[in-house]
């Protein structure tokens, strides 16, 4: 906490937007739609939701196989609610994307005002302008994954740090661990700070976190017999060098470091001349909270998709600069004219930047076939957008129509009583199209055995070495079905893959979780029992 900061003024959740904030409000939602896309992983959520609502199989990827193959319980719940209205997934993703930006905008406006100080009249809101025209931020208000909720969480953290007594902000940040499990790290730091700042624990925030996360954890143990989602085990690795490259790839194209350095210089200059109400402690905590998530992302090697895993720390770090421009121009003559010119220039600058993976700005992607080249094991969203024959096409026609409620009902009728062999594919969308048919994602997102296998990564969370094992499991399931003891039945037979014979104890322990009978006490014991990694045998040297 800044020792020179005044006592916290009343927390007003409504305000009169400035011209620059209105410009963001009316422009950014259109860019969100222009940048709209679907990541292949979104089809995991879609199949889980349709299995629950349409195919009556439960919250599973394959009927009778209880594996939590999704990373965000909050996003899953939101999709269940919206899909129950019989809406098309394409419509859901874009509607939620636009609405999420509106919430993000509101929170970013609040945090900027609260960091500006009580005597500041002008709201330039440079952090909002910068984020509202940055491609990496805007394209993740869609994607079909939990990314819009992550962006809202970043703005909620900024607002909650600026006003720790706000009950609304406490409640919002208390939901964050349900959005992504790693957001529990900054939440712990935030609650510790708020307890120190207000001399009492943030009861609303703590209660929200305990009730929501605790309630879901009870469900997870009862239903999946585990403490963590399957994706946690798949991505629980250490690849620091790649993680640092991921941070570099995120910060470089948007000139993030110069932006933060300029803000730091402005802060130091105002502090040197004795300016009051700079909220040094609050800004420092925002950067620390952002750093805690960034450190986790670095540890696991980042993500194969540009910007995605750094959306939270990126936005929170930028929002930590809120109010500095307002304080800087307070003494300027004609501050309104200069302020508008500054924000206009920053908006154009932010909008002009795009990732190194692309040769052309993605805003022209609808009319141009933009090459998307991987850089340091990282690709951009563009390969999942604006391809007429692609299963990721964002239109509400062609492939988009296949994501409607009616199309899902039609697939259920077509595949009723189907005896097709188990499908094995690295693409999640193939599993969604094969509704009612058993399916294995070869990368291990929804398979508990593949996720717990020690395997060399080709790029973050992508292990092509699992493909052969996936086909082995499919062959076993085609013969033995889905159930306990399937691996044991084939262990002594000829032509049984060596890795199955050599990992029987571990396979048996995983089977108990996957095919549990939903007895809570028994499942709690299973969740508390440590399970080792599956050894697949010799692996090729990269």
Residue 50's closest CA among 38, 59, 37? 59
Note whether 246 and 378 are within 8 A (CB).
Answer: yes
Residue-wise DSSP of 240-296: HHHHHHHHHHHHTTTTHHHHHHHHHHHHHHHHHTT-S---HHHHHHHHHHHHHHHHH
114 SS3 class: helix
Mean pLDDT of successive 10-residue stretches along the chain, which has 542 residues: 43 83 94 90 96 94 95 97 95 95 97 82 86 96 95 97 92 96 96 88 95 97 96 93 96 94 91 82 96 97 95 98 84 64 87 89 62 80 58 50 87 74 92 89 96 92 93 91 89 83 94 96 96 84 46
For residue 120, the model assigns a pLDDT of 66
Residue 146's closest CA among 235, 71, 95? 71
For residue 539, the model assigns a pLDDT of 64
User: Which residue is associated with the tokens 């969308």?
Assistant: 429
Note whether 107 and 278 are within 8 A (CB).
Answer: no
For residue 414, the model assigns a pLDDT of 77
Phi and psi based region of residue 301 (left: phi greater than 0; alpha: psi -120 to 50; beta: remaining): left
Residue 343's closest CA among 325, 331, 317? 325
Angstrom distances, CA of residue 78 to CA of 72, 92, 148, 361: 10, 10, 12, 32
Note whether 500 and 472 are within 8 A (CB).
Answer: yes
Angstrom distances, CA of residue 468 to CA of 138, 460, 464: 38, 19, 8
Rg (CA), the chain: 25
pLDDT tens figures, 276-310: 778 999 999 999 999 999 999 999 999 999 999 99
Note whether 140 and 307 are within 8 A (CB).
Answer: yes
User: Which residue is associated with the tokens 């080249």?
Assistant: 373
Those residues whose C-beta lies under 8 Å from the C-beta of residue 411, and which sit 6 or more positions away, are: 433, 435, 436
The CA distance from 142 to 37, in Å, is 6
Residue-wise DSSP of 2-38: -TTPPPPPP--S-----HHHHHHHHHHHHHHHHT--B
| Per-domain residue ranges of the chain | 19-352, 419-528
For residue 362, the model assigns a pLDDT of 82
The CA distance from 364 to 269, in Å, is 40
């Amino acid at each position: 906490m800044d020792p020179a900061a005044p006592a916290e003024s009343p927390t007003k959740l409504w305000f009169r937007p400035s011209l620059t904030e209105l410009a963001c409000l009316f422009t950014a939602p259109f860019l969100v739609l222009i940048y709209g896309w679907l990541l292949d992983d979104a089809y995991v959520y879609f199949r889980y939701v349709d299995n629950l609502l349409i195919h009556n199989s439960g919250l599973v990827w394959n009927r009778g196989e209880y594996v939590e193959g999704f990373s965000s319980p909050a996003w899953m719940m939101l999709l269940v609610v919206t899909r129950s209205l019989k809406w098309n997934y394409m419509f859901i993703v874009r509607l939620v994307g636009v609405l999420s930006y509106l919430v993000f905008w509101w929170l970013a406006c609040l945090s900027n005002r609260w960091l500006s100080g009580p005597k500041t009249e002008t709201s330039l809101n440079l952090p909002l302008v910068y984020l509202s025209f940055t491609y990496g931020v805007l394209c993740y208000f869609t994607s079909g994954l939990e990314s819009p909720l992550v962006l809202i969480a970043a703005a909620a953290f900024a607002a909650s740090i600026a006003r720790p007594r706000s009950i609304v902000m406490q409640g919002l940040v208390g939901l964050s661990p349900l959005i992504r499990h790693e957001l529990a790290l900054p939440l712990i730091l935030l609650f510790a700070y708020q307890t120190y700042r207000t001399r009492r624990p943030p009861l609303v925030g703590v209660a929200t976190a305990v009730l929501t996360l605790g309630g879901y954890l009870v469900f997870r143990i009862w239903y999946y017999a585990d403490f963590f989602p399957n994706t946690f085990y798949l991505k629980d690795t250490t690849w620091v060098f790649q993680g640092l490259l991921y941070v570099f790839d995120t910060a470089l194209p948007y000139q993030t470091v110069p932006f933060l350095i300029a803000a730091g210089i402005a802060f130091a200059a105002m502090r040197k001349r004795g300016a009051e109400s700079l909220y040094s402690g609050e800004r420092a905590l925002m950067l620390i909270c952002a750093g805690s998530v960034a450190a986790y992302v670095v540890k696991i090697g980042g993500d194969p998709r540009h910007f995605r895993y750094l959306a939270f720390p990126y936005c929170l770090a930028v929002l930590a600069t809120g109010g500095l421009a307002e304080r800087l121009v307070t003494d300027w003559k004609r501050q309104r004219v200069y302020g508008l010119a500054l924000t206009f220039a920053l908006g154009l600058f932010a909008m002009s930047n795009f990732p190194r993976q692309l040769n052309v700005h993605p805003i022209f992607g609808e009319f141009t076939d933009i090459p998307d080249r991987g850089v340091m094991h990282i690709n951009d969203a563009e390969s999942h957008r604006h391809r007429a024959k692609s299963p990721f096409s964002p239109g509400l026609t062609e492939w988009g129509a296949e994501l409607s409620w009616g199309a899902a009902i039609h697939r259920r009728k077509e595949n009723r009583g189907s005896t097709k062999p188990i499908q094995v594919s690295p693409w999640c969308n193939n599993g969604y199209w094969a509704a009612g048919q058993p399916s294995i994602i070869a990368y291990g997102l929804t398979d508990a055995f593949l996720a717990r296998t020690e395997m060399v990564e080709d790029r973050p969370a992508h292990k092509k070495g699992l493909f052969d094992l996936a086909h082995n499991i499919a062959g076993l399931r085609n013969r033995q079905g889905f159930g306990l003891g399937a691996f044991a039945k084939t262990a002594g037979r000829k032509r049984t893959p060596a890795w199955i014979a050599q990992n029987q104890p571990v396979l048996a322990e995983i089977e108990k979780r996957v095919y549990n009978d939903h007895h809570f006490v028994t499942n709690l014991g299973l969740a508390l029992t440590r399970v080792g990694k599956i050894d697949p045998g010799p692996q090729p040297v990269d």
